[in-house]
Structure 1
Amino acid sequence: MAFRGGAVPPPPGRRGRGGVLPLVRGPALPLLPPGRDARVRRARGRLRAVTDLGAPEHLGALLGIALATAVLVVAARRPNPDWWLKTLAVVLVVDEVSWWAYLLLGGVPGSLLALSLPLQLCDTAIFITAAALWTRRPLLVEVTYFWGLAGTIQALLTPDLPQHFPSYPYWQYYIAHGGVVASALVLVVGLRIHPRPWAVLKVAALTIAYAALVGAIDLVTAANYMYLRAKPPTATLLDVLGPWPWYIGTAALIGFALLALLDAPFRPVRRR
């Protein structure tokens, strides 16, 4: 879900000697062309220092999400889980909408809001996850499962979050991303709504189509949704996948392999 594409003016007192500090989450803009220079490398170094992977605030969030997921998966196998599944759906949507309220109340200019639309894959996954929890329709569950465990979980392991505990952006980020991952396991492991045959190809096709749409929006708005124009400023898996634009193709191949791997446990079940 990350920063929604744009550099957002910080709250009062957050301006440092280096200029405007990105408020939270994602590829800081204004975005330079793909041939990035030393200024980008320096910015990436500063944000890496802020994110601090493996810090107690990061590991604590992961532990809390893991424990909550285990409890919810067990609870899903008990009678009448419908009420709390729908409650979880509402929580995810409210958490996402609250981020927009946070931006608006902070006085973010409309031009920057245009670069902060909920178009990152994790943003869209939140609404799909909420719909899957509410309706339990197979296609929605499949998209939630594959996007959640192949994509959103990476945002938890390498968070694009230059904010610290206990700030609001910290809580909002981990509730959103952790909620998608937990919901994916609740639906597939807890409720046993398993992916159907050809689910991998269907979700892969939907993902490619969505990426093409987002890429067109990136061209029009000069944003960086789905990191199609540049890598995130913080350390992520994309850092080892080569320069732009090659990392996009490499990430797509890895993504398809992850979908197939996530589908593997259910193939023997489908043959019965």
Structure 2
Amino acid sequence: MRELVTMDRELYPFDLFGVPHMVALLFCLAIIWSLYHFRDTLRKQSRKLWIYSLIAILLIGEISFHAWYVTYGEWDLAVNLPLQLSSISVYLVVFMLLLKRRWLFEITFFIGITGGLIAMMTPELFFGFPHIRFFQFFIVHAAIVVGCFYMLFVERMALSWTSVLKSFLALNVIAVLVFMVNGLFDANYMFLSEKPAQATLIDLMGPYPWYIVTLELLAFTLFCLIFLLVSKQNKR
């Protein structure tokens, strides 16, 4: 089975910022624009459809992710527990869409938007178009981001500077718990033990463990910038 995985990587190499990658990014942006532009119509007609569709996409994507690894005999406790930021965001967004609690939205919005967009821009992905992992990766990450913007634009959930602090604190609590799990399984969830194998923005942030400090500063800065952009748009 491992030989088949290696063959797939050679047949379908991922091309960073190639045409399929750029199409995936633009598709995500187009959906976000549509959410904002048609927000009033969606409030009246399609709210349940959007909510359950996003939940289905996220859960099917997560299940297919694990099914692929199991099928090829690659599933491993050190790799496949739902402890990467993207997997954590999947479950946060699902619960956010179901429960519609403001405190959950405040935590999820900044973590989901930042993690989802960065992952889509510089993915740790070894399989390019048209491999199933390519579609699974970008569809799920797009659904994370779209789910967060859906709650903002359509459900009109409110954000404040306190929301930024809540989300940043929650992210650090999650990171501490994940760091302990990494020690138990010799894992690298959330890239807290070493840099990703694939080229990412983390490569520009210095050696271990100093890149973690840089990631902390970057995350908080992005949370603040996202809040400023969102609050400015809401005022308009």
Task: Place the TM-score, normalised by the shorter chain, in its bin.
Answer: 0.7 to 0.9
Equivalent of 1:82, from 24, 30, 47?
47
| Superposed displacement of residue 159, structure 1 | 1.2
Matched with 1:26 is: none
Supply the AA of the counterpart residue of 1:145: F
Matched with 1:105 is: 71
Matched with 1:56 is: 19
Matched with 1:68 is: 31
Q: TM-score, normalising length from structure 2? A: 0.87
Superposition pairs for residues 109-258 of structure 1, below 5 Å? 112-258=76-222
Q: TM-score, normalising length from structure 1? A: 0.77
Supply the AA of the counterpart residue of 2:82: P
Matched with 1:36 is: none
User: Which stretch shifts more, 123-132 or 189-198?
Assistant: 189-198
Give secondary structure in 1 for the equivalent of 2:112. helix
- The answer on whether the counterparts of 1:121 and 1:226 sit within 8 Å (CA) in structure 2 is yes
Q: What number of residue pairs does the alignment pair up?
A: 231
Supply the AA of the counterpart residue of 2:148: A
Instruction: Name structure 1 gaps, 5 residues minimum.
Output: 1-8, 24-45
Supply the AA of the counterpart residue of 2:221: A
Give secondary structure in 2 for the equivalent of 1:77. helix
- The answer on whether the counterparts of 1:204 and 1:256 sit within 8 Å (CA) in structure 2 is yes
Separation in structure 1 between the aligned mates of residue 15 and residue 232 of structure 2, nearest angstrom:
41
Supply the AA of the counterpart residue of 2:74: V
Q: Given the superposition, is the C-alpha separation of residues 267 and 15 from structure 1 closer, same or farther in structure 2, using an over 3 Å criterion? A: closer
1:214-249 deviations in whole A, cap 9, x for unaligned?
000111110000001111112211111110000001
Supply the AA of the counterpart residue of 2:189: Y
Supply the AA of the counterpart residue of 2:15: D
Segments ≥4 residues shifted beyond 4 Å: 265-271
Alpha-carbon RMSD: 2.6
Give secondary structure in 2 for the equivalent of 1:115. helix
| Superposed displacement of residue 150, structure 1 | 1.8
- The answer on whether the counterparts of 2:35 and 2:153 sit within 8 Å (CA) in structure 1 is no
| Superposed displacement of residue 153, structure 1 | 0.4
- The answer on whether the counterparts of 1:194 and 1:266 sit within 8 Å (CA) in structure 2 is no
Supply the AA of the counterpart residue of 1:208: N
Matched with 1:33 is: none
Supply the AA of the counterpart residue of 2:47: D
Q: Given the superposition, is the C-alpha separation of residues 75 and 92 from structure 1 closer, same or farther in structure 2, using an over 3 Å criterion? A: farther
Give secondary structure in 1 for the equivalent of 2:172. helix
- The answer on whether the counterparts of 1:146 and 1:203 sit within 8 Å (CA) in structure 2 is yes
Give secondary structure in 1 for the equivalent of 2:80. coil
More helix per residue: 2
Q: Given the superposition, is the C-alpha separation of residues 15 and 161 from structure 1 closer, same or farther in structure 2, using an over 3 Å criterion? A: closer
Instruction: Name structure 2 gaps, 5 residues minimum.
Output: none
| Superposed displacement of residue 197, structure 1 | 4.6
1:143-181 deviations in whole A, cap 9, x for unaligned?
232012222100011111110111111111001111111
Matched, 1:259 2:218: no
Give secondary structure in 1 for the equivalent of 2:117. helix
Separation in structure 2 between the aligned mates of residue 101 and residue 175 of structure 1, nearest angstrom:
16
